[in-house]
Amino acid sequence: MARSTAAAPKRAPAPTRAAFNRLSATLQRGASPERMVREVESVVDDLRAAGDEEELRAWLEELHEGFQESTEAAIEAIDEVEPTEKAARRHAENAANAMAAIRDAFGRHLGRA
């Protein structure tokens, strides 16, 4: 039996994966904590449109937990940057602050979900 060489259509990523990818891409551009909070607001609006309240809560919990872990890792990474490398240290601190802002924004939405 011959196999088709045509690729199967790609499925859209899970809502949490799409949200994580979107937030990660914004973070990589060096966005401020305030910018990340606005991005979370937009992500939550998209998640609300994609599912019911139960799904929304599960997605928010998953994203909150994921960014909790990322925040802890980013804070630890600051200590690995030499104090003499001021630009690198500033970048690491901004990344940690931005991740903490994301985590906190999802936490606030969990209180409302």
pLDDT tens digits for range 15-71: 999 999 999 999 999 999 999 999 999 999 999 999 999 999 999 999 999 999 999
Question: pTM of the predicted model, to two decimals?
Answer: 0.84
In a domain, 6, yes or no: no
In a domain, 18, yes or no: no
In a domain, 58, yes or no: yes
Work out how many domains the chain is built from and give that number. Answer: 1
Domain of 99 in residue numbering reads as 35-112
The string of DSSP codes covering the chain is: -PPP-SPPPPPPPPHHHHHHHHHHHHHHTT--HHHHHHHHHHHHHHHHHHS-HHHHHHHHHHHHHHHHHHHHHHHHHHHHS-TT-HHHHHHHHHHHHHHHHHHHHHHHHHHH-
In a domain, 9, yes or no: no
Contact 110, 61 (CB under 8 A): yes
In a domain, 82, yes or no: yes
- Burial class for 91, CB neighbours closer than 10 Å (0-12, 13-18, 19+): middle
Q: CA torsion sign, 41 to 44 to 50 to 51?
A: negative
> Using one digit for the tens of pLDDT, what is the confidence trace for 60-70?
999 999 999 99
In a domain, 74, yes or no: yes
In a domain, 12, yes or no: no
In a domain, 8, yes or no: no
